[in-house]
Amino acid sequence: MSQVTEQQVLDALGRVTDPDSGRDVVQLGMISGLVVKQGNIGFAVEVDPTVGAQKEPLRKACEQAVHQLPGVTSVTAVLTAHRQAPGDRPAAPPTSAPPRAAPGAPPGTAPGMAPKATAGAKPGIDGVRSIVAVASGKGGVGKSTTSVNLAMALKSLGKRVALLDADIFGPSIPRMMGISGKPTSPDGKRLMPMQNYGIKCMSIGFLIEEDTPMIWRGPMVMSALEQMIRDVEWGAGGEDVDVMVVDLPPGTGDAQLTMAQRVPITGAVIVSTPQDIALLDARKGLNMFRKVDVPVFGIVENMSYFLCPSCGERSEIFGYGGARETANKMGCDFLGEVPLHMAIRETSDGGHPITVSDPKSGHAEAYIAIARQVADKIDATLQDSSHQGPRIVIQ
């Protein structure tokens, strides 16, 4: 079977008519970020933010039109609300239009690049008092598990907590938090956060099917993350959030840049396993936050050791103490170690994190001890009047 081409996708979308204008979506320049990869198709349908909810049938029509093409195995179509800045020109058809700059970029910003920011230029998130980013230099070190249990542990300390899944390509918070379904919108513009265990959550995973691949380019990732930050009622129910825990994707890419540039991150927690290759990448992540003036609260050593449940023998599968040593060398705090244990994995996969399902266990206590240190560092940072928040400038 021949592979579907970009032109075939555009031709199919050209047969979808916007009922409000009577013209097709390609002619109107509503299609952006088109990606065609081995039968997996992704694109955005750009609409006026004031009519976002009413355009859902149009998005579905676009998705269905492309899905009917031979050779297409999956289609991911999303609505994006493009807010035009003063002086912006109407979008041209995607066959000739250059890539847009990041959402909110001033005129003159290079395509695909984030706008320049200066100290004090980043507004906080409505209804959120502090933001803690949980990051790792590489995948597979248990960052999302740490994010979820850190959020739960902070709540057990009396904090009002929110959890933002910033991993657009591999969202795992819905499953780990045991949440299914889609968020509601009271006005067609802003989303109500999903909730479980008393924690407010938002993730791209609530808006797509679990097995749908996200094959987006950088600007689309930044747009989606920006909307999850700004277009969610984090203060829903009349209760502001004391701490928002942000589960970042691994590495130092678009999501990290967007968060560092667009919101005042109170501090970052770096997660690593003890092995040398993971610690090498962890140092990169730590240095990234320092370059953008985000305080690093410390390093967590995950999968620190394995304690046999039958005989009690301790095995240091990935080595031991590497994160503590790295923290000492890098001049930051070592927040604690969490063992490799089946109970942590099983409860996370089952949507019942260990800090909720067995809060008196030694594993839960490890997370709570880390949370106490993080809470203290948040309070100290917020009280420091000299802290101006992260600054990042792209030349």
Q: Which domains does the chain have, with CATH numbers?
A: 6-81 (3.30.300.130), 131-383 (3.40.50.300)
Distant-in-sequence, close-in-space partners of 270: CB < 8 Å, separation ≥ 6: 135, 136, 137, 282, 285, 286, 289, 296, 298, 299, 300
CA distance 43 to 31: 7
CA distance 283 to 252: 11
92's tokens: 């041209």
Question: Is there a contact between 165 and 172 (Cβ–Cβ < 8 Å)?
Answer: yes
User: How does residue 54 score in pLDDT terms, banded at 50, 70 and 90?
Assistant: confident
Size (the chain), residues: 395
CA distance 53 to 50: 8
The radius of gyration of the chain's CA atoms, rounded to the nearest angstrom, is 22
Which residues on adjacent β-strands are paired with residue 79?
Answer: 45
pLDDT in tens, 21-43: 999 999 998 998 788 887 888 88
Residue type, position 3, single letter: Q
> Which H or E element spans position 298?
strand 296-307
pTM of the model: 0.69
CA distance 249 to 271: 12
Distant-in-sequence, close-in-space partners of 46: CB < 8 Å, separation ≥ 6: 29, 30, 31, 32, 79, 80, 81, 82, 91
306's tokens: 């394995």
202's tokens: 């938002």
User: How does residue 96 score in pLDDT terms, banded at 50, 70 and 90?
Assistant: very low
209's tokens: 């099917």
Give the Cβ contact number of residue 274 at 10 Å: 24
pLDDT in tens, 336-350: 998 888 888 889 888
Q: Is 360 left (phi over 0), alpha (psi -120 to 50) or beta?
A: alpha
CA distance 333 to 296: 8
CA distance 390 to 333: 20
301's tokens: 């050593």
Per the prediction, the chain carries an average pLDDT of: 81
Q: What pLDDT, on the 0 to 100 scale, is given for residue 285?
A: 85
Which residues on adjacent β-strands are paired with residue 196?
Answer: 199
Question: Is there a contact between 198 and 191 (Cβ–Cβ < 8 Å)?
Answer: no
Give the lowest-confidence range in 60-69, 320-329, 369-378. 320-329
User: How does residue 161 score in pLDDT terms, banded at 50, 70 and 90?
Assistant: very high
Interhelix angle 143-156/362-383, rounded to 10 degrees, is: 80
**Which of 62, 70, 19 lies closest to 42, judged by CA?**
62
Q: Which of 378 and 208 is assigned the larger pLDDT? A: 378
Given a cut of 60, is residue 83 above it in pLDDT? no
